[in-house]
Structure 1
Amino acid sequence: MEKIMLVEDDIKIAEYLGSYIEKYGYEVIIAKDFDNVIGLFREVEPKLLLLDINLPSYDGYYWCRQIRKESICPVIFISARTGEMDQVMAIENGGDDFITKPFHPDIVMAKIRSQLRRAYGEYATKYAERVLIQEGLSLYPERFELRFGNEMTQLSKKETDIIEILMDRYPRVAGREDLLAKLWDDQAYVDENTLNVNITRVRKKFQEIGIEDAVETVRGAGYRLSITWKEEKG
């Protein structure tokens, strides 16, 4: 049974829509803790997310950006906001579709089915899984997995993007500006320490699969994938 996660703070709307969707054979998980939407998303691993914009603490745009860091799950925004800019922001923040309130449940079902077909069914793009290989190191971008020999570690979306750039540029240097442009192109300004923090996390991921000093800092330029560990493993 395919899981659909519903994030809606109006409990009457959530229960009504959830019950309606379940009639069509889906399992609906309704969020209750609006301060930890990403935590429930990771636990549930839904096939599709229905997301309101106006939520306590953080709005739907924020949660969609967090989810996009680690998943390409279809996201349909449902909101009472009817302005064109709201719909533009929904798409620019990672949404796939937008439904305005009040809505007819049949419209919601039609859009759910459409997004599921596009993502997983008959309209889904068919292609061979990508894998990047350098010196025995294998990165699976669609799985967020990094492998070396018999060792494997799971990555976040940003960790995957950083390692993909490093492997793609190997043995050249990946510039700091290039990394920032690819990873945070939706932000006008990013704190200088943000990239440093993510590079530190990437280094720890390499250590988890037995690789030390895999990311070399090139002062004034950026970062480079180091292969000095090859001889140590070989």
Structure 2
Amino acid sequence: MFKLLLIEDDTTLFHEIKDRLSQWSYDVYGITDFSSVIQEFTDIKPDLVVIDIQLPKFDGFHWCRIIRAHSNIPIIFLSSRDHPTDIVMAMQLGADDYIQKPFHFDVLIAKVQATLRRVYNYNTDVIELKTWCGATVDYERNVVTNDTGSIELTKNEIFVLKMLIEQKNKIVSREELINSLWDDKRFVSDNTLTVNVNRLRKKLDEIGLGTFIETKVGQGYMAVEEAHGYD
């Protein structure tokens, strides 16, 4: 059974589309939090995405750009906007098709089926992604991306960042970080950890996120959602 992610904020339309697609044995998921689309996308690991352009928080173009940067999963836009520039934008961002509202459900189903057949042999594995402070953190590629730009981290730096993000707004002790890095077959001394955190911050500064990693003197470090400056 193919898993489809329908990113649509019109509740009535969402349930109608879901009911129609479910009749064809598709497993259809929706979004519960439109500020965390990429995280729900990563958790669901769909085989195809159907996305509207006009959405809360960020538009469909924004999410399409992020998804396409990390996955070749098929994407179909479904929108009431019919201006040629919207269609061109969608295709340039890597969409596989564009369906204009209002539409006939048979057309939507046919396009979904055709798209899945066309990409069936493609690799649609979704890379593990995490959202933090408006940025997308790609744990597999060691890359952090936001609207300002993109940075590439070393294995140690992404390991430290992942530990801090997974426990964001909580202090992670230096001992816990060092022990975890040791368990991961990377020898890290107290001084080496300091160097790695400083380098991590310097790189994060390039995209405006350096101050979101705070030092808690005598305790450890903490990844926050609201920066208060270096401690």
> Which SS does the other structure have where 1:69 is aligned?
helix
Question: AA paired with 1:58?
Answer: F
Corresponding position of 1:199: 153
Measure how far apart 1:32 and its partner are: 2.6
The answer for unaligned runs of 5 or more in structure 1 is 130-141, 146-154, 163-182, 214-234
Whether 1:159 and 2:141 are equivalent positions in the alignment is yes
2:131 paired residue number: none
Amino acid at match of 1:63: W
- Give per-residue Cα distances to partners, 1:100-155, cap 9 Å, x unaligned: 000101110111011111111xxx46xxx9xxxxxxxxxxxx7869xxxxxxxxx9
- Deviating above 6 A after TM superposition, structure 1's stretches of 4 or more consecutive aligned residues are none
TM-score normalized by the length of structure 1: 0.58
Whole-angstrom distance in 2 between the partners of 1:143 and 1:14? 23
8 A contact 1:75–1:95 mirrored in 2: yes
Aligned to 2:65: 65
Matched residue count: 159
For residues 75-154 of structure 1, what are the structure 2 equivalents within 5 Å?
Answer: 75-120=75-120, 124=121
**Matched residue type, 1:40:** E
CA shift digits 1:48-93 (9 cap, x unpaired) = 1110000011000111112123221111000001011101111122
Letter in structure 2 aligned against 1:115: T
The verdict on how the C-alpha distance between 1:29 and 1:10 changes in structure 2, with shifts beyond 3 A counting, is: same
How far has the Cα of 1:200 moved from its partner?
Answer: 4.1
Provide the residue aligned with 1:54 in structure 2.
54
* SS of equivalent to 1:6: strand
**In structure 2, C-alpha distance between the alignment counterparts of 1:78 and 1:144, rounded to whole Å:** 24
1:77 partner letter: F
Aligned partners of 2:156 and 2:89: how far apart in 1?
30
TM-score (norm 2): 0.58
Percent identity for Structure 1 against Structure 2: 34
What's the secondary structure of 2:54's corresponding residue?
coil
Give the counterpart letter for 1:67 in structure 2: I
CA distance in 2, matches of 1:2, 1:58: 26
Q: Is the 8 A contact 1:159 1:202 kept in 2?
A: no
Q: Which blocks of at least 5 consecutive residues in structure 2 are unaligned?
A: 129-136, 160-180, 189-231
Question: CA 1:143/1:100 → structure 2, altered by over 3 Å: closer, same or farther?
Answer: closer
- Asked whether the equivalents of residues 76 and 97 of structure 1 are also in contact (C-alpha less than 8 Å), the reply is yes
Please, which moves more after superposition, 21-30 or 62-71? 62-71
The CA RMSD over aligned residues, in Å, is 3.3
Change (3 A) 1:210 1:65: farther
Aligned partners of 1:6 and 1:96: how far apart in 2? Answer: 15
Give the deviation of 1:97 after TM superposition: 0.8
Partner of 2:45: 45
Shift of 1:19: 0.3
Cα displacement (A) at 1:202: 7.4
Q: Give 1:102's aligned amino acid.
A: P
Match of 2:7 in 1: 7
* Partner Cα distance (1:108, 1:22) in 2: 13
In the TM superposition, what is the alpha-carbon distance from 1:159 to its structure 2 partner?
1.8
Classify 1:76/1:144 alpha carbon distance in 2 versus 1 (closer, same or farther; 3 Å): closer
